Amino acid sequence: MNFNYASELLELCKKNNLSISEVMIRRELANTNTTREEIIQKMTKSLNIMKNAVKAPLEAPIKTMGGLIGGEEKKLIDRLKEGKTLSGSVTTKALAYALGVLEVNTGMGIIVAAPTAGAAGVVPGLLLALQEEFNLSDECVLNGLFNASAIGYLLMRNASVAGAEAGCQAEVGSASAMAAAAAVEMMGGTPEQCMYAASTALQNLLGLVCDPVAGLVEVPCQARNGIGTTNSLICAEMALAGIPNIIPLDEMIECMYSVGKTLPSELRETALGGCAKTPTGCSKCYLVK
């Protein structure tokens, strides 16, 4: 069971009455010399790493490489505990967890690149928040991760997930598409709704540039993981409500890559434009000397 495009994946789901996660598992079985139990075990390891990355900044302060970020997750969770959140518990938790993973990443901790280290907070941020808020099983979250893997595979095969090649839309944008599709499946949506959510998530972040201050994956990267996570949430909400996206996921992936290739080099992870080029951004360049 194999697929190279979203249309092929969707057809496999419909023809065999399978979820995206199950098709992805069967693809792995067909293309690797592993058993289902081994595949589940490997994904469980990734899930546990994600859980630890979300918890670590709440248990002890993390010193990041550049010192530009730190403590953001705890501040949001403290605000949530005080009942002051503007956006509700699901959104605030998802946001906080996403920011926390970036703290761990820039503090040289262990994270799962999903699909990249710079966008590593989006998928765990949303999926783990949903698990807590809706009392979902680890099996449900694992299915979400397999679903996200399928979307990530399509993005890597047909476009790019590298900020240096196609801007932050290829990193946080891709992660947001992965998380949106995963969330839809976890909450009982159809494979077609998963595709709608992923396409809308990419669409919403189309053109997002990659401009790390001082060349470090801290600012504005952490905050963009936050926006990628909340973008995933609203896209999943719309898809579950039956709101389609008129542009198929395959076309949106091609569109994203095309836009990325037109971005000037200054806006593709070189730290020579955007936020990195502001006076304050330039003043932080001593961090990498």
Report how far residue 152's alpha carbon sits from residue 146's, in angstroms, rounded to the nearest whole number: 10
Least confident range from 58-67, 154-163, 243-252: namely 58-67
pLDDT at residue 259 greater than cutoff 60? yes
Top CATH class, 6-288:
mainly alpha
Q: Vertex 117, ends 276 and 57: CA angle to 5°?
A: 95
pLDDT of 287: 75
pLDDT of 70: 97
In the chain, the percentage of residues whose pLDDT exceeds 70 is: 99
pLDDT band at 289 (very low <50, low <70, confident <90, very high): low
Which residue, among 152, 161, 149, has the nearest Cα to 23 in the 3D structure?
A: 149
List pLDDT tens digits, range 92-132. Answer: 999 999 999 999 999 999 999 999 999 999 999 999 999 99
Mean of the per-residue pLDDT values for the chain? 97
pLDDT of 208: 98
Identify the residue whose tokens are 């099996």: 139
List pLDDT tens digits, range 144-178. Answer: 999 999 999 999 999 999 999 999 999 999 999 99
Which residue, among 139, 106, 141, has the nearest Cα to 125 in the 3D structure?
A: 141
pLDDT of 256: 98
The 8-class DSSP code of residue 111 comes to: -
pLDDT of 1: 85
pLDDT at residue 228 greater than cutoff 90? yes
Q: Average of pLDDT values for 63-89?
A: 96
- pTM exceeds 0.85, yes or no: yes
Q: Average of pLDDT values for 235-244?
A: 98
List pLDDT tens digits, range 173-215. Answer: 999 999 999 999 999 999 999 999 999 999 999 999 999 999 9
Whether 264 contacts 273, CB under 8 Å: yes
List pLDDT tens digits, range 217-226. Answer: 999 999 999 9
The domain spans of the chain are 6-288
Tokens of 31: 């293309």
